[in-house]
Amino acid sequence: MKAFLVGAGPGDPGLLTLKGRDVLAMADAVVYDALASPTLLEYARPDAELIYVGKIAGEHALPQDEINALLVRLAKEGKTVARLKGGDPYIFGRGGEEALALLDAGVPFEEVPGVSSAIAAPAYAGIPLTHRGLASSVTIITGHESADKSASEHNWKALATGASTLVFVMGMKNLPDIAHNLIRAGLAPDMPAAAIYRGTTSGQRSLLSTLAELPQAAEKAHFSNPAVIVVGKAAALRDKLNWFERKPLFGKSVVVTRAREQASSLARLLEEMGAEVIQFPTIEIRPLADYAKLDAALAGLSGYNWLVFTSANGVRHFWRRLEKSEKDGRALAACKIAAIGPATAQALAARGILADFVPGRYVAESVAEGLRHAGPLSGAHILLPRAARARDVLPDELAAAGANVTVVPCYETVPADSRKDEVQKRIEAGTLSCVTFGSSSTVLNFLARISPELLRAHPETRLAAIGPVTAQTLRDHGLDCHIQPEEYTIPALARVLESELPCL
């Protein structure tokens, strides 16, 4: 029985602390807020109970006293509870109230600090809260005082004269009053002031103005909460140091349709470029129910001349079964090894195996052509471990060259549950920049959920394919492939998106 009050950070999931991640991974129940990135829930155990208690303006899933009672009840059921709160629990997060409720109920607890939006949002907008010669002190103030107060508790005179930088959290509704009170208390109307909306997320927007003009500028730009307001000379550095909003894919939204266990590399590259990544796994990679064919092939590895891998998934699942049969890479000593591309070759290299052949073009047709040039295939025995359902081009071409080809399934792909409604609404609204496809199966499974007619009606949503086979699958369904890298790899796909999407 224990509760952890975990700061989720301001929005960028990369700002979660290592301890916060570890708590999520061991928790029996996760009670989370609206401002906590949904990506963080992926750190939770698959069997963990996930309970949403978000509070946004005008809509509270649960009042605070009921949240307190929920935490106590879950802990007293003997569960380890992770209370995931946006920013830092103890900075305008009501974490102190929850800690006192747990204490009063005899529930042991820990507070796991998080990165506060008061610090992170200005940093992502290029505003250092302290800077030599400009700012030597910071005051963090709530911009959303309790409605039941008869008058403001802020000492406006002290705020106007007592700190170099003022940071108001969640103050957009009261911004005119904030500016008025500060100016009346003696702060110069032309003092630099900035507003940052949804700081550290792909939806971040920021603007720089003066204290007197910021309310009108923010209203004109349609700023609302969640937002941070910064007042002080250091705010003027925003135009020079605004690194985040200058990333090449900032403001672009990209759907990644790869299976979840494959998606991380592309998602990470795109996020590093500033894109909003929507993971929409259309397929799920699963182990087989029956490994009889693969086990028989593993028992007779010494009889094969070539072992051909067509994906990193094939390598991973083949290797798991190899190890289960109490063998290792030495069992492949009699075989030459071919990999369809560098990612597959890298998966082999990670297991101590250097591919004897990797084609210049990373498609099945090039593998067959290359193996023909590597030596006579007539009478050669070739083992091809792959997905349970895949194209027959490679085995057919190898067989046509006289090879004896044994195709064995080592994993299967099945349609996956996905964020269909969200993606469909984004396409209809014209706010989705691109959908990426890493294989023909991702195209087919995506189109089973999102109709080709909808995509044709919204050409502003670009379609990107990793290679010509995947691109042809799009064309077979009457869709244009707008983006395709010359090299059929994930890094190349990310690079071509960087060059193509900003031109929209």
Per the omega criterion (within 30 degrees of 0), is the bond before 226 cis? yes
The residue annotated as part of the active site, out of 2, 19, 22, 55, is 55
Give yes or no for a contact between 427 and 458, defined as CB atoms under 8 angstroms apart.
yes
Round to whole Å and give the CA distance between 487 and 466. Answer: 8
Give yes or no for a contact between 299 and 275, defined as CB atoms under 8 angstroms apart.
no
Residue 483 DSSP one-character state = B
Q: In this structure, is the dihedral angle defined by the CA atoms of residues 142, 146, 152 and 155, taken in order, positive or negative?
A: negative
Scored b (16 or more CB within 10 A) or e, 273-306 reads bbbbbbbbbbbbbeebeebeebeebbeebeebbb
55: annotated active-site residue: yes
- Cα–Cα distances in angstroms (integers) from residue 17 to residues 6, 13, 30, 113, in the given order: 9, 9, 16, 8
User: Whose CA is closest to 381, among 307, 446, 456, 488?
Assistant: 307
33: annotated active-site residue: yes
Greatest pairwise CA separation for the chain in angstroms: 92
Give yes or no for a contact between 221 and 196, defined as CB atoms under 8 angstroms apart.
no
Kindly state the tokens that stand for 467.
């290679």
Element (H, E) at 451: none
The residue annotated as part of the active site, out of 33, 85, 88, 336, is 33
The set of catalytic residues is 33, 55
